[in-house]
Structure 1
Amino acid sequence: MPHPDPSAVQALLGSRASPCRRGLTGARGIALPPFFDHHVHLHLIDETQLAAHGIAGVVDLGGDPLALARRPRRGMPYVAYAGAILTAAGGYPSGRSWAPPQVVREVTDPSTSAGVAGGATTAVDEQVEYGASVIKVALNAASGPVFDDALLAAIVAAAHARGLPVVAHVEDGDGMTGTAERAVNVGVDVLAHTPFTSILAAEVIERAAAQQAWISTLDIHRDEPETREIAIANLRTFTAAGGRVLYGTDLGNGDLPVGVNPGELTALREAGLDAAAIVASLTDPWPGVAATAGGDASGTKASGTSTFIPGDPPSIDDELTAWLAGATVVPTEELIHDDLR
């Protein structure tokens, strides 16, 4: 049986998709760049299962910075990380069972001077010293106090001064609304979750789409239909406005599959992403996770690994997410790209 037309495959999945076969087994399928999960917590999962289920690299968005800094620089999963989550005094995730003290860094002073106890610059510098590629802040008003605008702006400025993006967990609650808009106003680069507490105004989403990426994490709401629909509706508007979507699951948050998550892919389809856009969200190298393994800046190559999905892409759209979830990580040199049709 011939391979599918490469041009048809690329029209469906994007320009970096290629029909191929595995040299060791002869199995036919599609080669793609490495897949990344842009929101995980490594201390809460069995990371050894990731590659077998399609995920080559991850972005840890809340972990012990010392433990993350001591990780081997080679091997899978390829890891970029934020280190500790910066939060207001007593703010989220302080006191959470999943977040030991090392995962939380309270910031109380907007000082731009290095070495100030509780200072914004001091907290950012600490994560940088531990090798962070991104700075994460908590704006979870549903679970405790959050930064005021001056302190939030100081953290963002300190991170940007060191060339690092800022990712924020935004969540309204306890009488406070507008956390997503506040993140836009101070120049936060990425939202750790698609906003899910209320439908955002179109003007706020348009501004966000012009300056931010959103990490999807839609499937964490699988048991909360109303919240799930709010998140999907916000992401649908964000995508329509040209926003950049990053595939992410918040892996470690509840009973999520380790690897490519079919539920997340299904929700992305509901939010209006086509197959090529979903693949783009999976292969996006933000914030340099490919480079942590010696890959190039575009994410097209991460230390000689590729994604292999057995079989031809399905012609029925509803079957696409199940097919993508069959991905595995293989050495790039193992894949043979046939010219035969």
Structure 2
Amino acid sequence: MSHDPEALRDLLGPDAMLCRRAITGEHGVSLPPFTDHHVHLHLIDETQLATGGIAGVVDLGGDPVALARRENHRIPRVAYAGAFLTAPGGYPVGRPWAPPQITREILDPSTHPGVPGGAATAVDEQASCGASVIKASLNETAGPVLDGATLGAIVTVARERGLPVVAHAEGDGMPQLALDAGVDVLAHTPFTEFVGRAFTAHAVKAGQIWISTLAIHRDDPQAAEFARVNLAGFAAAGGRVLYGTDLGNGDQPVGVNPDEVAALDGAGVRGAALIAALTDPWPTADAPSGVSTFVPGPPPTRLDEVAEWLRGATVVPSEELVHDDH
């Protein structure tokens, strides 16, 4: 191929390599495997993910027992939170898509193990089922929310167990509540208000991570604009952004979502930063093993081409790829 490997890496990040598939002879580009950092496996057909370019997923709300029992030695690699930890009667309790097995109502902020309905009891249950992260629900628009003391207890216990806490923060003041409690990750870019520069600077300084989920607002222009502006400010300030779609929420493609990729690009997460959001292995330290992302055809040469080019991404065994740019 005649393309400049160094220019390609400048555009797509240090791991981008020109290559061909040994079996088919197709030329293209290899990248580290992509992860969708916000999915709900009980609502989708996961068998289509790899064909669509996704090698790893993070389930942010499911039945912890079912997730613990699944075979997880194949692609997609699955990390998970287990159940939503929520206030009594809080989101998503009672939602048609949320069976009782995926929620735990926290009745007591106790950090002592074994207290019925206690914060530590719920965190320990998810941890014992193999959770890599703990999910807290703070949806003020849909019912009661965890108070600061209870949320703080969840964060404290999770931290003692070595687990980050991710929060669904929706509604007036909910991103601030999450930040004040030390929540590590927001499951959605804030979309019910402009969070402002002071909040954004505090979040970046605290090392908070935001999962994008921009495309779920396609039918709500105001929420879409809140999310776009908030994410643009967060990314520009040096915040760590993860690609995530909330797959299972509405009609979305199972695989790389072109609308999510385009929305990230439109919020200033472009080129190498966009690839970094897709390939970040969070919450694990290492990427899914033995596979790569392969995008066939001519590589992009300009930033404006990257988002559309990613439509062709698929997951292939790394051993199939012969690098052309050594």
Cα offset for 1:112? 1.2
TM-superposed CA distance for 1:315, in Å, is 2.9
1:211-226 pair list within 5 angstroms: 211-226=207-222
1:200 aligns with 2:218: no
Q: Secondary structure of the equivalent of 2:168?
A: strand
Residue 133 of structure 1 aligns to a residue whose secondary structure is: coil
Find the aligned partners of 2:196 and 2:76 in 1 and give their Cα distance.
Answer: 38
Corresponding position: 1:258 with 2:246 = no
User: What is the aligned partner in structure 1 of residue 282 from structure 2?
Assistant: 286
* Partners of 1:100 and 1:180 in 2: CA distance: 26
1:179 aligns with 2:179: no
Question: Quick one: which amino acid aligns to residue 15 of structure 2?
Answer: R
RMSD: 1.0
TM-score, normalization: structure 2?
0.98
Could you tell me whether the CA contact under 8 Å between 1:153 and 1:186 is conserved in 2? yes
Is the counterpart of residue 306 in structure 1 residue 292 in structure 2?
A: yes
> In the alignment, residue 104 of structure 1 is paired with which amino acid?
T
For residue 224 of structure 2, what is the aligned residue in structure 1? 228
Q: What is the number of residues matched between the two proteins? A: 325
2:36–2:56 contact (8 Å) kept in structure 1: yes
Distance in structure 1 (CA, Å) of the matches to 2:286 and 2:270: 21
Residue 51 of structure 1 aligns to a residue whose secondary structure is: coil
Contact 1:213 1:244 in 2 (8 A): yes
- Runs of at least 5 residues in structure 1 that lack an aligned partner in the other structure: 289-296
- Report the residue type matching 1:243 in the other structure: G
1:8 corresponds to 2:3: no
Counterpart of 1:291 in structure 2 is none
SS at match of 2:199: helix
Maintained 8 Å contact 2:19/2:325: no
Q: Are 2:310 and 1:315 aligned? A: no
SS at match of 1:63: coil
Paired residue for 2:36?
Answer: 37
In 2, Cα distance between the equivalents of 1:182 and 1:313? Answer: 43
Q: Is 1:273 paired with 2:272?
A: no
Please, which runs of 5 or more residues in structure 2 have no aligned partner? none
SS at match of 1:205: helix
Pairwise CA distance, 1:316:
4.6
Amino acid paired to 2:262: T
Measured after TM superposition, the shift of residue 298 of structure 1 is: 3.9
Q: Which residue of 2 aligns with 1:331?
A: 317
Aligned letter for 1:121?
A
Q: Secondary structure at the match of 1:258?
A: coil
Contact 1:3 1:19 in 2 (8 A): no
Counterpart check, 1:59 vs 2:58: yes
1:38 counterpart SS class: strand
Identity among equivalent positions (%) equals 63
CA distance in 2, matches of 1:317, 1:55: 22
Letter paired with 1:238: F
Q: Write out aligned runs for 1:122-141 (5 A).
A: 122-141=121-140
Calculate the TM-score normalised by the size of structure 1: 0.94
The CA distance in 2 between the partners of 1:53 and 1:3, in whole Å, is: 27
The residue aligned with 2:104 is: 105
Tell me how far apart the structure 1 counterparts of residues 69 and 46 of structure 2 sit (CA, whole Å). 16
Q: Which residue number corresponds to residue 83 of structure 2?
A: 84
Distance 1:73 1:270 in 2: 35
Find the aligned partners of 1:230 and 1:255 in 2 and give their Cα distance.
Answer: 22
Note the 1:236-247 alignment, pairs <5 A: 236-247=232-243
**Matched residue of 2:51: which SS?**
helix
CA distance in structure 1 between the partners assigned to 2:325 and 2:266 by the alignment:
35
Give the conservation status (yes or no) of the 8 Å contact 1:262–1:325: yes
